[in-house]
Amino acid sequence: MADGPDVVLVRHGETEWSLTGQHTGKADIPLTPRGEAQARDRLGSILARRHFGRVLASPLSRARETARLAGFPDAEVLDDLREWDYGAYEGRTTVDIQAEIPGWTPWTHPMVGGESLEELGARCDRVLAVIDAVGDDVLLFAHGHLLRVLAARWCTLPAAEGRRLLLDTATVGVLSRHHDLTCIRHWNVTEQIQS
């Protein structure tokens, strides 16, 4: 049983670039028809029975459209929920980048012309401060890397530990508190969850 409000995290539905594994930060890539169905059918049914004190979304259309289709058309845009700025690696796959830089990962190498992992972690800390002020369950619609770092920071881990938290498109995670510890209660969920 949770000791306080939950933070429910939703990764946006499928896009063409999520299908191909292209890093999608600032690019405003729309949902595919399948991504729209994921948001409407899967996420809509998972989230329908819950009350949220505040609903927040990334400013990027794939997150806002996921929120709308899941039944939250009035989600408040929070700029700090935008995805990691990949700089020169925007639109490229890890395999493609590793052909030039062996062993490259976003967790271990700098984002040339983009945002550092520390800067992303600081943004996530600001989001957590906004959440903490609500005092009720909060729902966030955002992006894979951002949400992975957010969950790591929730658990007071370094931002780089988000690398251990795989998160598929159109899935849900729940962050909770238990005996004064911040915990991950559910992760990468595609079915109805207990509140």
β-strand partners of 169: none
The active-site residue out of 12, 23, 143, 145 is: 12
- Round to the nearest angstrom and report the end-to-end CA distance of the chain: 9
Backbone angles phi, psi at 105, to 5 degrees: -140, 160
Residue 12 annotated to the active site? yes
**Residue 35 DSSP SS3:** helix
* Residue from 160, 136, 169, 171 nearest 2 by CA: 136
The active-site residue out of 14, 36, 83, 90 is: 83
Dig out the tokens for 169 from the structure. 């498109």
Query: Which amino acid appears at position 120 of this protein?
Result: L
DSSP 8-state assignment for residue 114: S
Residue 83 annotated to the active site? yes
Q: Are 45 and 192 in contact (CB under 8 A)?
A: yes
- Active site amino acids: 12, 83
